[in-house]
Chains A and B, each alone.
Chain A
Amino acid sequence: MKPARLFKPDVRLSKLIAEPGGATIASSLARAEQRLEAVRERAIADIDGMIAEIAARAKDADERTRKVVYALADQVFAFAGTLKLAELSAAAHSLCLLLVREAPPPTQREIDLHVSTFRALRRPELSGNKTARAAVLDGLRRMAAAAER
């Protein structure tokens, strides 16, 4: 058998990043946040579309549909997290965990509970109120724990 070979690759990125010009780390991060802010409204509309699709498909208990719902929940988790919608991201992650749970299998009630939470968190009176959002997420956690028992 041929012995393993170790070598140091030439990482061009290491040289490019140190070239004169560019920006400070602080200003690069600020600019990235600004760019995200500029597309925030559209991205939130995308999230709402995903939630609507989850709600439409969640009633279907077949495995293929559940996989689609899982993929959508995973996207909501990722997008909401990037857009700093922490509670919505956490609720979507909770649905991901639920959908891959093997025993006991997820119940329709648990899935519906998550969909209701998504919708509640997107209601205008809650979306701007951190305390209320935290309470809704806490409610989801408690009910999910109760449903699992």
Chain B
Amino acid sequence: MPAAAIDPNQRVNLSKARLLIIDSNQHSVDLLGQMVKGLGFQDIVRCMSVAEAETSLRAETFDLVITEAQLADGDAFALIRAMRRDADHPNRCSPVIVVQGHVRPEDVASSRDAGANFVVLKPITPQVLLQRVLWVVRDKRSFVEAASYVGPDRRFKFEGPPIGSEGRRREDAAEPISLESGANMSQNEIDDFIRPQKVSL
């Protein structure tokens, strides 16, 4: 997807957006809170556990949810999945950005398959966070409601036929191109996995 340039002089108004931050670590909540206030968010709710977040998410609609992947009383994936699968949930279609530290491919797959919009790799900076917010705003993906998945459309690139099958296209490779060799993913790999709308600040 071609990069869409963002004018640093472009105005963004986040003052009326209701933001939910979910993180069990007080230090992280404080630091992220400072960052989002600086970016212009004023209406911020903070939750420190899955249980607390469930209550907040049931009670009101948020314009954006930023959640740490691993929380003190569980992971955020079940929380996102439950949100997406309940047709009457007030935040069924609310954008969700998952923040992850040391990331393995299966962690990103868990976020994506739960129905998260994007994954942000730590350490977070104001630039990266604002860029992801802009990605959310520009995201043209449809929502998919299927028996096994509800959330932003995950289909975005052809990754070849299933391993072990011959495929039907002339250009289909008969063998997997390579095996996963690293235990950690870069932000670029994660973005590629989740289908970003590329912007440059």
Contacts and interface: CB of A to CB of B under 8 A. Distances in A.
Nearest to A21: B13
B37 interface: yes
Contacts of B170: none
Contacts of A38: 34
A143 interface: no
Given A13-B63, A29-B201, A79 B93 contact: no
A148 B187 CA distance: 26
B30 A16 contact: no
Interface stretch (A4-12, A58-66, A130-138): A4-12
A81 B100 CA distance: 13
Nearest to B38: A32
Contact of B39 (A5, A28, A77, A78): A28
A24 B147 contact: no
A11 B11 contact: no
Interface string B54-85: 00000001011000000000000000000000
A12 B63 contact: yes
B15 A21 contact: yes
A61 to B, nearest CB: 20
Interface residues of A, number: 50
A16 B40 contact: no
A114 interface: no
Given A22-B12, A43-B27, A97-B184, A13 B143 contact: no
A136 to B, nearest CB: 19
Given A79-B123, A89-B123, A36 B31 contact: yes
Interface in B32-53: 34-40
A74 B139 CA distance: 30
Contact of B143 (A8, A26, A39): A8
Given A9-B143, A25-B201, A77-B122, A20 B13 contact: yes
Contacts of A24: 8-12
Contacts of B125: 81-82
Given A78-B123, A97-B183, A11 B95 contact: yes
A96 interface: yes
Interface residues of B, number: 54
Contacts of B14: 16-17, 22, 28
B167 to A, nearest CB: 23
Contacts of B9: 24-26
Nearest to A33: B126
B146 A4 contact: yes
A110 B148 CA distance: 44
Contact of B93 (A9, A19, A32, A46): A9
Nearest to A32: B38
Contacts of A149: none
25 contacts: A10-B93, A11-B95, A11-B139, A12-B61, A16-B14, A17-B12, A19-B13, A21-B13, A23-B13, A24-B10, A25-B11, A25-B12, A28-B12, A28-B38, A28-B126, A32-B35, A32-B39, A43-B31, A46-B27, A78-B101, A78-B124, A79-B123, A82-B31, A82-B122, A97-B184
